[in-house]
Amino acid sequence: MTQPIVTEPSPSPPEQAGYPITALDTLAPGAGRGRFWRRGPVQRKAGAVPYPLPHEVVVLRVGRRLVRADDGTPKDRDQDLAAATSYCVVDMTRERPVILEMQVPSEGGLQDFTLRATFACTVRDPLRIAEGGRRDIREALLTYVKSCDGIQHLGMEYGIEAVREAHRRFRSALDTYARTRPPVFTGMMVELTAVEVLTPAEIMEEQRRDESLRRQREKERALEEENIAAQSHIERLQQELETQRIELQERLHRQKTAFDQERQIVEREFGWKMQYDEAEEKRRRDYRQRTFDIDEGLRLHEAVGTDPDKIEAMTRVQGGLSAGDHLARSDERERLRREKEEKDLRWRRETEREQSQWGRDWEVTRAGWERDDNRDGLQWDRRLQAEARQRAQEIEDRKITAEAGAEAEARRRAQELEDRKALAEAEARRRAQELEDRKILAEAEARRRAEEIEDREAAAQLELVRILVERGHTDQGSMVEHVQRLADELTSRRRPLQHERRTEITRDDARPALQDPPAPQERRYAENDRPARLKEEDIGD
């Protein structure tokens, strides 16, 4: 069915109902579409009326009449839909079960039976259902069951434990009532199919079972959603990883291509001679700098010794300690010295003040004793003498304690000075050992580089001999002796003399072979490679 289009805003969600009307709502008036003064046909927005399920029928109200949305030709359906003011969706399920429950008091009235009746309902005429407007048939069926004579007082004849007898009685009464007065509703057929009587315990058990099933379904649904989300997340991560891998491969390829191009340009622009000269100059400069550093360190060690002040001055000269740090350390030592002197002075003053106070107290006590001798007698005199002896003993104890504290403080400071001196000596020994190790390493590095230079020179001369042999310059009588001697020198790993190298370079017959520089691939040698020995048969060829 073609859905017309309207220009008004979408309607509010339809009102949900029960059975047989599952949904209903009103429709805003449709608007015509046209140009200028012409008014086109009224159209309605797609989705204004819900699409029914296979077992449902949509009923439209067009003016004063009710029509089914699936009746007539497509044109008639479009016109009816555009002119409709409301709609409802009717459930056409055959023998749709409708369950009713009602509470019936039992014997004693303490607990109630739960009467559950099941009706099979089938809609015969959806237009009459829409016209009647009965949204939910459950209320009407409940009224029908309650209208059975004595049904609400029938359970009072049985106790809650006699549920089987009560079930037979309720079943018989409702079957008889349904046969004598069957339920009649407009536009549909209703039939009683089952009657159940349940106790409160059974109701609770059923509720727990339903709740358990509901929770199990919710858990399964949540687990399935989590699995779907995790799977989608894994797929997204795999796609991202694949994209990143492809991008990384492309980037690596571009970088490798650029590096190869740049390396080729560098090899073409700079020759092996320039690189060798620069490396040699750098090696010599580094060797001179390391030698100077070692000599300077040894000289400073001999001049400084283990004196902390001299070590600090040496550190400042070497750049490890700035002038501000040097002044700060000097001020800190001066401050500690002044604090120690002030502390000792305060202690002496406090001791003298306490002794003076004790002396004055003693004089006052003696004066009091002398005044009270005549009045209190011998017993008072003895008591005063005992107190005086006690105070004198206290003074002596305090004095001994103070002297012991001073001696302990002096020993502690002496121990600190000894520890600092030992640390300074250990630091001086460690630095001397470091200087000695650096000197040994520098000598080993110098020897290694000298051997490497000799190897490279031997390789270059061997390459020169090979080029001369390949170009046929050894056929000349004057060159055979020089080539033979150079080959002997290379095989014995002896460096040629300076005048011999100069003689070979300045000869007219050897100059053409030296004018062509070797290829870049022949200039590079690994650090651990060694030139091959020149065989007698190669020189003879």
- DSSP-derived secondary structure for 403-431: HHHHHHHHHHHHHHHHHHHHHHHHHHHHH
Report pLDDT for 525. 41
What pLDDT, on the 0 to 100 scale, is given for residue 502? 43
Average predicted confidence (pLDDT) for the chain: 77
499-533 burial, b at 16+ Cβ within 10 Å, e below that, comes to eeeeebeeeeebeebeeeeeeeeebebeeeeebee
What is the predicted pLDDT for the residue at 524?
43
Please tell me the distance from the alpha carbon of residue 473 to that of residue 280, in angstroms, as a whole number: 31
Q: What is the pLDDT of residue 516?
A: 45
Structural domain spans, the chain:
14-93
- Do the bridges between strand 31-32 and strand 42-43 make them parallel or antiparallel, or are there none, so unpaired? antiparallel
How confident is residue 149, by pLDDT bands cut at 50, 70 and 90?
A: confident
Tracing tokens 């030296």 back to the chain, one arrives at 514
Q: Residue 365 — very low, low, confident or very high, per pLDDT cuts 50/70/90?
A: confident
How high is the pLDDT of residue 33?
52
Residue 56 confidence class, pLDDT cut points 50, 70, 90: very high
More confident call, 304 vs 141: 141
Band (pLDDT 50/70/90 cuts) for residue 96 is very high
Q: What percent of the chain has pLDDT over 90?
A: 22
For residues 485-499, give the mean pLDDT: 55
Dump pLDDT digits (tens) for 28-55: 876 555 444 445 566 677 677 888 898 9
Q: What is the pLDDT of residues 226-268, one digit of tens each?
A: 999 999 999 999 999 999 999 999 999 998 888 888 877 777 7
- pLDDT mean over 408-433: 90
Average pLDDT over residues 462-480: 70
* First-residue to last-residue Cα distance in the chain: 101
Section 269-275 average pLDDT: 71
- Minimal CA–CA distance to 124: which of 168, 93, 163? 93
Average pLDDT over residues 378-397: 83
Q: 477: pLDDT confidence band, cut at 50, 70 and 90? A: low
Question: Is 111's pLDDT higher than 70?
Answer: yes
CB of 193 closer than 8 Å to CB of 119: yes
Mean pLDDT lowest for which of 12-21, 99-108, 255-264, 503-512? Answer: 503-512
pTM: 0.40
pLDDT at 23 over 70: yes
